[in-house]
Structure 1
Amino acid sequence: MLSCKERGQLELFITGSLRQLIPDDYVLARVDRVLDLSWLRVEVADCYCSGNGRPGIDPEAALRLMLAGMLLGIVHDRRLMREAQVNLAIRWFAGYGLHEKLPDHSSLTRIRQRWGANRFRRIFQRTGEACVDAGIATGEVVHADASLIRADVSWEAVAAQHADAVSIENPGQDKVDGKGHSRRKGDRNKRVCLTDPEATLATTARNRKALPSYKQHGVVDDLRGVILDVEVTTGEINEGHYLLPGLDAVAETIGASIKIVTADAGYSYAKVFAGLEEREIEGIVPVKATPIKSKVPLPRFRYDAQHDHVKCPRGKILKPNRAKIDHGRFFVSKARECKECNLRSDCISPARKTRPVVIVHDYPALLRARRQRLRWGAREELFYQRHCWRAEGFHGEAKTWHGLSRAVRRGLSNMRIQSFLTAAAINLKRLATTVFAQILRWLALFSALIPSIGHNVKNTGEKSRCDPNCLIALVPS
């Protein structure tokens, strides 16, 4: 029979809570069961005047609005407040009734500016600590990875920085040619972003176009994919600069030492391997292949750490030079010995008389890592496979479902806040999923042990009639 729905119905008001209209398995309902913000008011109290001014927005309500936007993938404040006007779940999650007026979108902006990025980092750390207390993160095995985030700028805002401007800002530091232009590599025609100078041009591969970007560095736990640490830098910062500080932050969060860390070849640096050895952490990191630009490549030169010299393929000794570089030292051969060598045409360019070799700091640690890579077995391969879908999966989830594919606001501080809120939302999802699964198992257990409960649940046909909140205290951590 063809039916017709009457749309001009009068509103019917029912006494009760908005929670009754929200399904138990909705993401905001599940997160609300594990979200504890009782400490927040004390944390941000110094940002407000205690005895003067108009009453501000409740800090917990403001943070809940931000988290609701991240959980639902609504990262823009204007769109979030428009959605909250009609979305009962967002209103209930933030603590606003149907008759209450929601705050203006600009209020969330001012709150973020007032609190600062460090407080949002503390909010994120609280979620990681909650996951550790619940037993879904141990920190024994972690995976580190970095990902570029497109800055909120257009190509019209990217301009070429003239070399003369660099020379004026850095007098006496550049080599200048006859026309007065800088000859330092990377300065000439260097591109900068005018609207967001902290976003630098970066790319994931040499055959891809460089875009104004930030870089997010994350450390993910192996057990359930909980994010234990996250930080944001400009796009040009190398991954290797952040790994060791990130591991130290994770050890402080979990209150224990890390045993194993995995990372991709972008972290393959001597200082990284030396830092892992110093912290007694096993590093499962593939070592970069040495680029062969000569018929006599660098691996054929043997470094002797005991005597601090380098031996060439013909057995000649290369002594350290006085020239200093940031990441290592120069070892140079003798011109007389190179002149008589039968490998001179293959080893040295015609314009040079000696062969220089750069030995980076902590080079022995890099050699040990290369030997360890050759001994990889099924265990190491398994850990590295888990790295691919744990660490890289975190970045993919954040970009696909939580709006982190592009920066919402400009500036490094705003980008850090967005990253911290996204990581906190993902951790709350992990925690809520675990708790909700435990609740369902306990419901099934009680239904089997107590026939009356099973009969009631079966008759209702809805899990919402048996409120899971009353069983949280019974769920073991």
Structure 2
Amino acid sequence: MMLGRKERDQLELYMCGSLRDLLPDDHILVRVDRVLDLSWLREAVSECYSPGSGRPGIDPEVAVRLMLAGFLLGIVHDRRLLREAQVHLAIRWFIGFGLHEVLPDHSSLTRIRQRWGAERFRQIFKRTVTACVAAGIAKGEVVHVDASLIRADVSWESLAVRHVDAVRAENGDGTEVARVAGETLKTSRKSGRYKKVCLTDPDASMATNGRNRRLEPAYKQHGVVDDVSGVILDVEITTGEVNEGQEILNRLDAVADTTGATIKVATADAGYAYAKVFGGLERRGITAVIPTKAEPIRSKVPLRRFRYDARHDHVKYPRGQILQPNRTKIQYGRFFASKAVDCAGCDLAAICLSPSRVTKAVVIVHDYPALLRARRRRERWGEDDKRLYQRHRWRSEGFHGEAKTWHGLARAVRRGLANMRIQAYLTAAAINLKRLAPI
């Protein structure tokens, strides 16, 4: 065999053929192109433009295809995406641009996001969900719910300590009042959550996903994943300080509205094990596969010794006394208080009551009976429940890991809640298109 030689000078002035001929059939953009339908998009965004005036803008389908190509290939920054598209044959073919055509400027994508708003990008994501349901790779009957923090696109130098302009020392409990943009917040000296604010991205809030980890400026993504093939049925972005239990019911309602199916089973981790969550799931007819939290013991006479009687709506004291509900209303439950004469004759009063009190008061949260039923059900979990919860671990957590590792969701690309929502919607849409595209 002779030693070969290839001349590097490319003298061709004209080339015949399509860019598609140069791409392998199993390339991700080729696979997605077979299932991607954006024929509805032009009419959906037409109200954002002025007909008959101004210069022609970028074709809406080209803009969305360009953004989706970036998320599918893990190129989430506009500047880098457009630089890569200049030499990337697959991206040029995917957006319908030839080798000789000049690509849009990266700033055009920014203006399109601002003009369309986050809700139109959510519609793009929802279209991928309905396509997956129609294809039979998602049913919306068994779902997995989880949340994950996304680091905000800010530096540590942009964080500032909130100015404390009032100290409520009369109670002697170290409570501080911080004012930020006219909002009054009660904070504790021991907590750093409300002590810092981000100057460059006020929507980001200080949060952490572990007690031993420091607080970071972050957003929180709430996701619902289908059990069949891991299709993302719903995703939403909130500030990092929003609790998971506040969003799960809204997200499940959104899933039912998008898929048109009735959710039968929902799984989640112990971070969702609240009475209001179990009560809300019961009212919706959804079976909850959620491990309940161990009841904290903060007193020598723990709360579990006080038995709530839902039929008669009172609480039984360990020695048989009855605690009746009082008229004090709080957001998350009701107070049940004893009589001073009952506590005076109780042999547990010395260890049950605080030194400054003569009566016992306990708080029973709303939907407390639902929490008790969930605890009893947790003790009777069968093999099917255990296997389903194991699937929750790699379905929901696997989605967050995939989005962060392969599609750039480990950190916000742009600042502001609206931009963060757009990033999350397009990331979820890209993952759903991967699930839908045949190999």
Report the TM-score, using the length of structure 1 for normalisation. Answer: 0.86
Tell me the CA shift for residue 9 of structure 1: 3.9
Tell me the CA shift for residue 342 of structure 1: 1.7
Distance in 2, matches of 1:38 and 1:390, equals 31
Which residue pairs with 1:333 in the alignment? 338
| Secondary structure at 2:426 match in 1 | helix
Alignment partner of 1:244 is 2:244: no
Which residue pairs with 2:20 in the alignment? 19
Identity rate, percent: 70
Distance in 1, matches of 2:229 and 2:410, equals 23
Alignment partner of 1:365 is 2:366: no
Distance in 2, matches of 1:286 and 1:373, equals 6
Contact 2:92 2:99 (8 Å CA) reproduced? yes
Alignment partner of 1:44 is 2:30: no
Gaps of 5+ in 2: 178-184
1:378-437 deviation digits (Å, cap 9, x = unpaired) = 0100110000000110000000000000000000000000000000000000000xx33x
Letter in structure 1 aligned against 2:139: T
Gaps of 5+ in 1: 168-173, 437-477
Tell me the CA shift for residue 182 of structure 1: 3.2
Which residue pairs with 2:296 in the alignment? 291
Which residue pairs with 2:307 in the alignment? 302
Contact 1:230 1:420 (8 Å CA) reproduced? yes
Tell me the CA shift for residue 162 of structure 1: 2.2
Distance in 1, matches of 2:116 and 2:17, equals 35
1:116-160 deviation digits (Å, cap 9, x = unpaired) = 000000000000000000010011111000000000111111111
Which residue pairs with 2:261 in the alignment? 256
Distance in 2, matches of 1:178 and 1:271, equals 31
Distance in 2, matches of 1:424 and 1:176, equals 52
| Secondary structure at 1:351 match in 2 | coil
Larger strand share, 1 or 2: 2
Are residues 178 and 357 of structure 1, via their aligned partners in 2, closer, same or farther at CA, if it must alter by over 3 Å?
Answer: closer
Which residue pairs with 1:270 in the alignment? 275
Which residue pairs with 2:176 in the alignment? 182
Which residue pairs with 2:143 in the alignment? 142
Which residue pairs with 2:216 in the alignment? 211
Which residue pairs with 2:181 in the alignment? none
**Higher deviation after alignment, 206-215 or 117-126:** 206-215
Tell me the CA shift for residue 339 of structure 1: 2.8
Alignment partner of 1:420 is 2:420: no
Alignment partner of 1:83 is 2:84: yes
Distance in 1, matches of 2:302 and 2:336, equals 15
| Secondary structure at 1:186 match in 2 | strand
Alignment partner of 1:200 is 2:205: yes
Which residue pairs with 2:180 in the alignment? none
Contact 1:163 1:187 (8 Å CA) reproduced? no
Distance in 2, matches of 1:402 and 1:352, equals 57
Distance in 1, matches of 2:201 and 2:220, equals 14
Tell me the CA shift for residue 2 of structure 1: 5.8
Contact 1:163 1:181 (8 Å CA) reproduced? no
Which residue pairs with 1:119 in the alignment? 120
Which residue pairs with 1:231 in the alignment? 236
| Secondary structure at 2:110 match in 1 | helix
**Higher deviation after alignment, 353-362 or 207-216:** 353-362
Contact 2:204 2:240 (8 Å CA) reproduced? yes
Which residue pairs with 1:379 in the alignment? 384
Q: Of 350, 357, 365, which residue of structure 2 is paired with 1:345?
A: 350
| Secondary structure at 2:237 match in 1 | strand
Distance in 1, matches of 2:62 and 2:223, equals 28
Distance in 1, matches of 2:375 and 2:206, equals 31
1:53-132 equivalences in 2 (<5 Å) = 53-132=54-133
Tell me the CA shift for residue 373 of structure 1: 0.6
1:287-330 deviation digits (Å, cap 9, x = unpaired) = 11111111211111101112211111111111223332211111
Distance in 1, matches of 2:314 and 2:14, equals 85
Letter in structure 2 aligned against 1:249: A
- Compute the RMSD of aligned alpha carbons: 1.9
Distance in 2, matches of 1:389 and 1:299, equals 34
Distance in 2, matches of 1:154 and 1:2, equals 56
Tell me the CA shift for residue 220 of structure 1: 0.4
**Higher deviation after alignment, 252-261 or 11-20:** 11-20
Contact 2:175 2:186 (8 Å CA) reproduced? no
Letter in structure 1 aligned against 2:312: H
Distance in 2, matches of 1:181 and 1:207, equals 24
Are residues 90 and 339 of structure 1, via their aligned partners in 2, closer, same or farther at CA, if it must alter by over 3 Å?
Answer: same
| Secondary structure at 2:187 match in 1 | coil
Tell me the CA shift for residue 176 of structure 1: 5.5
Letter in structure 2 aligned against 1:19: R
Contact 2:176 2:187 (8 Å CA) reproduced? no
Contact 1:318 1:331 (8 Å CA) reproduced? yes
Letter in structure 1 aligned against 2:142: V
Report the TM-score, using the length of structure 2 for normalisation. Answer: 0.93
Distance in 2, matches of 1:160 and 1:356, equals 37
Which residue pairs with 2:182 in the alignment? none
| Secondary structure at 1:320 match in 2 | strand
Q: Of 312, 315, 321, which residue of structure 1 is paired with 2:326?
A: 321
Distance in 2, matches of 1:298 and 1:109, equals 54
Aligned length: 426
Tell me the CA shift for residue 201 of structure 1: 0.6
**Higher deviation after alignment, 385-394 or 326-335:** 326-335
Are residues 218 and 102 of structure 1, via their aligned partners in 2, closer, same or farther at CA, if it must alter by over 3 Å?
Answer: same
Distance in 2, matches of 1:221 and 1:312, equals 44
Tell me the CA shift for residue 271 of structure 1: 1.2
| Secondary structure at 1:218 match in 2 | strand
1:155-211 deviation digits (Å, cap 9, x = unpaired) = 1111111231xx6xxxxxx95549998367526662211111111111111111111
Contact 2:175 2:188 (8 Å CA) reproduced? no
| Secondary structure at 2:176 match in 1 | coil
